[in-house]
Chain A
Amino acid sequence: MTESTALYDIPGPHARRRHLLYGLASTVVILALAGWFLHLLFDTEQFTSTKWSPFLYEGIQELLLEGLGNTLKAFAYASVLSLALGAVLAAGRLSEHRVLRWTSTLLVEFFRAMPVLVMIFFIFVALKVQPLPALVAGLTLYNGSVLAEVFRTGIHAVARGQGEAAYALGMRKTQVMTYVLVPQAVRAMLPAIISQLVVALKDTSLGFLITYEEFLHAGKLIASNLDYDLPFIPVVLVISPIYIGMCMLLSWFATWVARRERRNPKTKAVDVAPAEPGTLLPGAQ
Chain B
Amino acid sequence: MDVLTDNFSLYGEGFLGTVELTVYASALALVLGFVMASFRVAPVGSFRVFGTVWVTVLRNTPLTLLFFAVMLGLPRFGLVLPFEVFAVLALGCYTSAFICEVLRSGINTVPRGQGEAARSLGMTFTQTLGAVVLPQAFRTVIPPIGSTLIALAKNSAIAGAFSVTELLGTYKTLSELGYNIVWTFVWIAVGYLIITLTISAIFHVLEKRWGVAR
Contacts and interface: CB of A to CB of B under 8 A. Distances in A.
A241 B26 CA distance: 27
A284 B101 contact: no
B181 interface: yes
A63 interface: no
Interface string B52-66: 000011011111110
B171 A281 contact: no
A258 interface: no
Contact of A117 (B72, B112, B161, B175): B161
Contacts of A220: 68
A248 B128 contact: no
B60 A198 contact: yes
A239 interface: yes
A27 B65 contact: no
Interface stretch (B3-11, B81-89, B195-203): B195-203
Nearest to B101: A276
A206 B101 contact: no
B76 A233 contact: yes
Q: Which of A122, A203, A216 has the most CB of B within 10 A?
A: A122
Q: Classify the interface of chain A: helix, strand, loop or mixed.
A: helix
B69 interface: yes
Contacts of B156: 115
Q: Classify the interface of chain B: helix, strand, loop or mixed.
A: helix
A7 B50 contact: no
B203 A281 contact: yes
A243 B175 contact: no
A7 B129 contact: yes
A40 B45 CA distance: 28
B41 A30 contact: no
Contacts of B56: 248, 251
A281 B147 contact: yes
Interface in B77-114: 77-78, 101, 105, 107-108, 110, 112, 114
Contacts of A219: 68
A113 interface: yes
Nearest to B196: A113
Interface string B145-167: 01110110111111011000000
Contacts of B189: 114, 118, 122
Nearest to B58: A244
Q: Which of A115, A243, A251, A279 has the most CB of B within 10 A?
A: A115
B86 to A, nearest CB: 14
Interface stretch (A18-26, A156-164, A166-174, A259-267): A18-26
Given A113-B192, A281-B144, 15 more contacts: A5-B114, A7-B125, A9-B119, A30-B50, A117-B154, A118-B189, A118-B192, A122-B189, A201-B62, A216-B68, A220-B68, A244-B61, A247-B60, A274-B105, A279-B148
